Amino acid sequence: MTNAKKTVVVGVTGGIAVYKALDVISKLKKKDFEVHVIMTESATRFVTPLSFQSLSQNIVNSDMFSEPKAWEIQHISLAKRADLIAVIPATANIIGKVANGIADDLLSTTIMATKAPVVFAPAMNTNMYNNPIVRDNINKLQNLGYKFINPASGRLACGDEGEGKLADTELISEYIQSMMYDKKDLQGKKVLVTAGPTIAQIDPVRYITNRSSGKMGYAIAEEARDRGAEVTLICGATSLAAPFGIEVVSSRTNEEMLKEVLDRFNEQDIVIKAAAVADYKPKQYSDRKIKKAEEELNLTFIKDNDILKKLGTLKNNQILVGFAAESNDLLENAQKKLHNKNLDYIVANDITAVDTGFASDNNKVTIICRDGKTIHLDKMSKRQVASRLFDLMK
Ligand code: CTP
């Protein structure tokens, strides 16, 4: 991702979660964003501006009428400079002010004066958050195009349990990066991705599966989301956390995955099958746990559905992408799959490579296009592989 030179103005308002905004700023700095901080007067009572200044590496702005440090009027210059304004944490007060056109301090005037997108990460007591006045204000702002990162549920600083905890700082930083992503070429497109291993159940306690972690499919889904697509991720048995802004559908077996994919296939623009689908299942599922008996245990397996092949026969205008996991004759085998399954692209993976592939964050792949064009990519992050794949579809 290229965030260099992009400016995020972080508005910090007065709540106990103020200290967590420091963590978000640190994460944004690590991703190369330029960060400017505006603190409200009450925020400065929780954490001193010095901490924010040190992490953002910029003077913290809080007073509208302070001696200007440059010739520009502060709220106008920050409003213009911002590529995005993020209010972390956002109190009921700042939400109420912006929703009702009140601009009486540096943060509210900057928000009022900006043309940049504004995102609020609310944090407050549950009863405040559920107060119909706050809800009305949030709805009103959402209808006007302001974004909200919903608070989490849990034990709040005041001792109450419920919704109102500031969302996870990792999630907030990812949300901001997603909004600021340079490429938005999938806006208006529907993308379906499958990820992770399926399982084939043997008896109530045993199943067979494979080593796929699902990371490649998740990276593809996140790339598509950040480029503006409406994304559905149909995942097998992965333990990865559901990414924000993506509809995640769980399916454990080949049959379940087939059903979930077919239910949605017609409405998609792009379908990418990164899942490692089990090709065989036990001929007979035993309802009872198989007991230890003879020295040898033989199980018979029968072929299961080839989901991608089926999609290849049904496809009309969808761009269809498959993966080829190979231990030998990589390109030859991948090419065969591209044609047999009627694909537009196939991403060939050498599963014997150390350091890439299964469970790794990196991958080294070759992408083959329908017209025979072959693109060898060096080892790179799975997210970068995803980006190169979508670049090809332009
Ligand atoms: N695939 C599928 N259904 C299956 C098997 C595979 O949809 N039953 C999809 C995978 O998601 C992948 C592509 O087909 O996109 C190729 O999967 P791969 O496991 O590499 O190949 P197979 O078709 O299973 O062939 P083989 O096991 O002989 O390599």
At residue 355, the pLDDT reads 78
**What mean pLDDT do residues 102-122 have?**
96
Say how many CA atoms lie within 13 Å of 108 toward its Cβ: 17
Question: What are the residue ranges of CATH 3.40.50.10300 in the chain?
Answer: 190-392
Find out whether 289 is annotated in a ligand binding site: yes
Q: Is 255 in the pocket of ligand 1 (CB under 6 A)?
A: no
Q: Is 348 in the pocket of ligand 1 (CB under 6 A)?
A: no
Question: What are the residue ranges of CATH 3.40.50.1950 in the chain?
Answer: 7-179
Long-range interactions of 371-377: CB distance < 8 A, separation 24+: 374/331
Quick one: fold of 7-179?
Rossmann fold (3.40.50)
**Separation of CA 278 and ligand 1 centre (Å):** 8
Query: What is the CATH superfamily name and number for domain 190-392?
Result: CoaB-like (3.40.50.10300)
At residue 74, the pLDDT reads 67
Q: Which of 267, 262, 282, 281 is nearest to 194 (CA)?
A: 262
At residue 85, the pLDDT reads 98
Q: Which of 313, 19, 48 is nearest to 169 (CA)?
A: 19
- Does 210 score more than 60 pLDDT? yes
**What mean pLDDT do residues 58-82 have?**
78
What mean pLDDT, rounded, does the chain reach?
94
Q: Is 158 considered catalytic here?
A: yes
Is the separation of the CB atoms in 52 and 25 below 8 Å?
Answer: yes
| Marked catalytic residue, from 50, 152, 158, 241 | 158
Q: Which of 84, 91, 144, 140 is nearest to 116 (CA)?
A: 84
Tokens encoding 389: 């794949």
Give residue 71's pLDDT band: very low, low, confident or very high (50, 70, 90): low
CA 18 to chain centre: 24
User: Could you tell which of 194, 233, 306 is best to mutate to test the pocket of ligand 1, judged by most ligand atoms within 8 Å of the CB?
Assistant: 306
Model confidence pLDDT, tens digit, residues 147-194: 999 999 988 888 888 999 999 999 999 999 999 999 999 999 999 999
Residue nearest (by alpha carbon) to ligand 1 atom 8 = 306
At residue 156, the pLDDT reads 81
Model confidence pLDDT, tens digit, residues 228-273: 999 999 999 999 999 999 999 999 999 999 999 999 999 999 999 9
User: Could you tell which of 265, 305, 308 is best to mutate to test the pocket of ligand 1, judged by most ligand atoms within 8 Å of the CB?
Assistant: 308
Spatial distance between the Cα atoms of 209 and 201, rounded to a whole number of angstroms: 9
At residue 3, the pLDDT reads 52
Give residue 298's pLDDT band: very low, low, confident or very high (50, 70, 90): very high
Find out whether 336 is annotated in a ligand binding site: no
**Separation of CA 230 and ligand 1 centre (Å):** 25
Q: Is 365 in the pocket of ligand 1 (CB under 6 A)?
A: no
Find out whether 323 is annotated in a ligand binding site: yes
Find out whether 215 is annotated in a ligand binding site: no
